[in-house]
Amino acid sequence: MTVLLFDIDNTLLDFDKAEYDALGKIFTHYQIEDNQENRATYSRENKALWRLHESEKLSREELLSTRFDHAFRALNVSVNYNPVAVDDEYQLYLSQGHELINHAKELLTELSEKEAEMYVVSNGTSRVSRPRIFESGISDHFREIFISEEVGHHKPSLAFFDYVFDHIEAANQKEFTIVGDSLATDILGGNRAGIKTIWYNPKQLEVSGEAQPDVQIQDLLEIPALVKNW
C-alpha cells in the first residue's frame, strides 16, 4: 500500500496569499509603507533565518522571537515595538489564511474515495497550521497531522521522518511517498528517508541542490495516476 505524506504550505494551502495578507496587516499596524521593496526586505530577513533553522543552526524559538526585529531594523522602523508581540500578532493573522491551492480539494476527495492513506507532514507551527488545515475543510482526509513543532524535529531531518514512521501502524509494511513544493525540505527529506518523492512544481523551476525528486508535477490532479502506476 502506498501511503501519501502531504506537505501543507504551498502544496495544499496557499501560504503565499496567507503571508501576503498577514504581512499587510502588520505593515499597516506598525506604520510601514506596504510596497514591493519593503515586502522583499522582510522576505529576505525571514528566509535567511529559516535557512539557519533548517540547517539546525537556529532554534525555532529564536527564529520566531527575532525575525521581526531583524526585519524591522532592516526597514528602519521608528515606532516602538516588541518583536515577540509582533510575531504573535503575525501568526494570528497567518492562522486565518486557509485558501486552497488549485485542485487540492478535488485531489483529496478523489484519493479518499479510493481509500488512500494520507497524512500531513508540515514544518509549520501548531498555532498557525492546525487552524488553517481545519478551517480549509480538508482535515477529515488525513489520518494524522504531524507538525514539526510538536514532533520536536523538522523536515528534512531523518529524525522527523523516523517519528512519523514510528507513529503509523504497520509502517514497515507500506510504501511511502511525500508530496511537497520544497526541494530543500520535502524532497530532500524524502530522499534521506528513502521514500518516493513527488515535487509539486507549478512554476517549473529547475532542480537545484542535492535533492532529487522522483517525479515533478505541475497540477495536483496528476497524483492519482502516479500512485496507481506505483
- Residue of 9, 14, 181, 186 marked catalytic: 9
Q: What is the DSSP string of 172-229?
A: GGSEEEEEES-IIIIIHHHHHHT-EEEEE-TT-PPP-SS---SEEESSGGGHHHHHHH
**Distance between CA atoms of residues 206 and 188, nearest Å:** 15
- Grid cell at residue 129: 497550521
Other C-beta atoms lying within 10 Å of the C-beta of residue 127 = 14
Peptide bond into 202 cis (omega under 30): no
Residue 152 DSSP SS3? coil
Can 181 be counted among the known catalytic residues? Answer: no
Please, which residues have CB within 8 angstroms of residue 184's CB and are 6 or more apart in sequence? 54, 156, 209, 211
Can 140 be counted among the known catalytic residues? Answer: no
Q: Which residues are catalytic?
A: 7, 9
